[in-house]
Amino acid sequence: MKEISELYLPDDVRYAETHEWVKIDDEMVRIGISDYAQDQLGDIVFVELPKVGDTFATGEEFGTVESVKAVSELYIPVGGEVLSINTDLDDAPELVNQDPYHDGWLIEIKPDDLLEVENRMTKEDYMEILEGEE
Amino acid sequence: MRYLPHTDEDISAMLTSSGVKSLDDLFTSIPRDCRRTGDLKLPKPLTEWELTARIDALSREVASSPEYKIFIGAGSYDHFIPESLSYLLSRSEFVTSYTPYQPEISQGTLQAIYEYQTLTARLLGMEVANASLYDGASALAEAILMSLRITRRNRVALSRLIHPLYRSVVETYLKPTGYEIIELPYLTDGTTDLSSIDDMDDLAAIALQSPNFFGSIEHLRSAAEKAHEKGGLFITSFTEPIAYGLLKNPGVLGADIACGEGQSLGISRSFGGPGLGMLAGKMKYVRNMPGRLVGKTEDSEGKRGFVLTLATREQHIRREKATSNICTNNSLCALAAAMYMASIGGTGIRELAQINYDKSEYLKRELTRTGHRIAFQSPTFNEFVVQFPPHSKHKYDSLIEKKIVAGLPVDRWYPELSDHYLLCCTETMTKDDIDLLVREVNS
């Protein structure tokens, strides 16, 4: 597994304590899991995502990600309505391992409150959390 | 594995090593008033001679075949078991092996389960079968839970002609959860009445058994269509898988999940257990399947290997978030079923099913010829309901004296059917046996 210094943690996304990332894109936000999360899980074999139109409050479970050694719940970092899901993951769940911030994104939502994104952690805060978990 | 009791020296050595004074000290974390004081009320120990005599006496109290001619199926069927099975199953590699928790090291066990899954999927006409569950009743309950998870609905419709004990197990599973079970009544021809379904909404599943408890073959295809129209799943339950040697299998007729009891496939009746829960479904529902599933793959050198797939959804890893409470399979019984299916083969199971059907039709004809009424007119497989004359209980009891068990009275579960008996006839009954039954019933 990667050392913290080896993790790729971009500056332009915010992070949740449950290891999802969230990124503003105009009026909507895109959500995925962090490099740390994919690295901890190992080879991802299946991603279970919600339906377009489902709504979730912040912190609610919106799906699961299954690797060869565990199944983990996904918690939504910002509440809202699901606008689209990454259907490429049906046939290629490994995209989450290979490219967690771009091709391996999970869902796009219309947030209830766009400003809530600012309440999630910056890269620096997230790294502090990770160091605590080591 | 050896069973050697601990000696006093063993116990004192273990106590010293763990730093406690007495065995009772190990239980101090349990509140005093929750602990049992005094001895259990058990009979005094017996010598081996006394015990053997006692068990012999007990076994003489029950009617068992071949001493008795037992014309009862009703979920447990008397079938011939090839001697090769008994021999192979008794091998220690199979008998003593326990569910492997580092499964890939036990390639033989995994391959056996994989072959059981393959044969089961073929017999039932389904895309994927799991590694087995405990018995037919819990398999049905698990299939229903599966449909509730998949559809995220709260209501299921169950035929009243599903085995009454299966329905009772389903109720035990669902009662505390707030899910609703609707019972579908039966028609005068002995099949399920599907007409009430049109007015039902929000159904997670419709479940039928075929052949059903009365032995009748259900109209599975129309039930499947109705379930799918309602956006629900169609579950086919069964107690007699040999029937699918002759009948169209659940998959062909539109079942989303097929589940039932595999005792008929080379497992002795043993007065009710252990059984074999068979469960198979469509591939798209595989991640909602309970239990475990063995898959075939290749290792880094391209060699064939077997792996425990989907294990990450099991209880020993996911705890309360597991797909189901089931965290095991009946490996030895599944192995027996795999050996049985492989031994008799596709042609064999067809012939065997034909023999079962022919013999029970012969019994049916002979009873009709001698003036008895077959209660339901739908086609049956190897059992059917007959209406004996009123107050036939006396006759029934007198036949037991003659070591003939003339079917199972069904009024215990269907009070409206007094003097109705469910009779079963498998390949183990000879023509003489059947003629004897008919003669005695009419004497």
In this predicted structure, which of B36-40, B179-183, B336-340 has the lowest mean pLDDT? B36-40
> How far apart (Å, rounded) are the C-alpha atoms in residues B316 and B103?
13
Report if residue A120 sits inside a domain: no
Going by pLDDT thresholds of 50, 70 and 90, the confidence category of residue A55 is: very high
| Chain B environment of A46 (Cβ under 8 Å) | 287
Closest residue of chain A to B318, computed from CA coordinates: A71
Non-local (6+) Cβ contacts of B242 within 8 A are: B77, B79, B264, B265, B349, B352, B353, B356, B382
Average pLDDT over residues B318-344: 85
> How far apart (Å, rounded) are the C-alpha atoms in residues B249 and B241?
9
| Chain B environment of A68 (Cβ under 8 Å) | 312
ipTM over 0.90: no
| Chain B environment of A69 (Cβ under 8 Å) | 312
Provide residues of B within 8 Å CB-CB of chain A. 287, 312-313, 317-318, 321
- A66 contacts B313? CB cut-off 8 A: yes
Average pLDDT over residues B405-427: 97
- Domain map of chain B by residue range? 69-82+345-442, 83-340
pLDDT of residue A134 exceeding 70: no
| Chain B environment of A71 (Cβ under 8 Å) | 312-313, 317-318, 321
- B313 contacts A73? CB cut-off 8 A: no
> How far apart (Å, rounded) are the C-alpha atoms in residues B100 and B354?
39
Report if residue A118 sits inside a domain: no
Closest residue of chain B to A90, computed from CA coordinates: B284
pLDDT value, residue B2: 64
Give, to the nearest 10 degrees, the angle between helix B431-442 and helix B393-401.
Answer: 130
- A70 contacts B313? CB cut-off 8 A: no
Give, to the nearest 10 degrees, the angle between helix B107-124 and helix B331-369.
Answer: 30
Q: Residue A41 sits in which domain range? A: 11-113
Residue A89 corresponds to which tokens in the numbers above? 């993951």
One DSSP character per residue, A58-76 reads TT-EEEEEEESS-EEEEE-
Report if residue A57 sits inside a domain: yes
CA of B124 to nearest chain A CA: how many angstroms apart? 27
Average of per-residue pLDDT values in chain A: 94
Give, to the nearest 10 degrees, the angle between helix B136-151 and helix B164-174.
Answer: 50
Provide the 3-class DSSP secondary structure of residue B180.
Answer: strand
Report if residue A124 sits inside a domain: no
- A70 contacts B317? CB cut-off 8 A: yes
The residue among B284 and B103 whose pLDDT is bigger is B284
| Chain B environment of A90 (Cβ under 8 Å) | none
- B312 contacts A68? CB cut-off 8 A: yes
| Centroid of chain to Cα B395 | 31
Provide residues of A within 8 Å CB-CB of chain B. 46, 48, 66-71, 73
- A48 contacts B313? CB cut-off 8 A: no
- At the top level of CATH, the class of B83-340 is alpha beta
Report if residue A126 sits inside a domain: no
Residue A10 is classified by DSSP as -
Helix residue ranges per DSSP H, B175-309: 220-229
C-alpha to C-alpha distances, A69 to A42, A98, B119, B313, B314, nearest whole angstrom: 7, 18, 28, 10, 11
| Among A48, A66, A73, beta carbon nearest to B312 | A66
Please say whether the beta carbons of A64 and A121 come within 8 A. no
> How far apart (Å, rounded) are the C-alpha atoms in residues B316 and B337?
26
pLDDT of residue B1 exceeding 60: no
| Chain A environment of B321 (Cβ under 8 Å) | 71, 73
Residues B276-330: pLDDT tens digits?
999 999 999 998 899 889 999 999 999 999 998 887 777 767 777 788 777 677 8
CA of A91 to nearest chain B CA: how many angstroms apart? 13
Q: Could you tell me the CATH number of the domain that includes residue A35?
A: 2.40.50.100
Report if residue A121 sits inside a domain: no
pLDDT of residue B78 exceeding 60: yes
pLDDT value, residue B100: 64
Does the B69-82+345-442 domain belong in CATH 3.90.1150.10? yes
Please say whether the beta carbons of B224 and B299 come within 8 A. no
pLDDT of residue B250 exceeding 90: yes
Closest residue of chain A to B319, computed from CA coordinates: A71
| Among A48, A69, A73, beta carbon nearest to B312 | A69
> How far apart (Å, rounded) are the C-alpha atoms in residues A47 and A89?
7
Residue among B288, B312, B323 with most chain A CBs within 10 A, to mutate: B312
pLDDT of residue B4 exceeding 90: no
pLDDT of residue B35 exceeding 80: yes
Q: Provide the number of structural domains found in chain A.
A: 1
> How far apart (Å, rounded) are the C-alpha atoms in residues B288 and B108?
26
Identity of residue B168:
S
| Among A48, A68, A71, beta carbon nearest to B318 | A71
Radius of gyration (C-alpha) of chain A in whole angstroms? 14
Give the count of Cβ contacts less than 8 A between chain A and B.
16
> How far apart (Å, rounded) are the C-alpha atoms in residues A75 and A94?
20
Average of per-residue pLDDT values in chain B: 93
Strand partners, B16: none
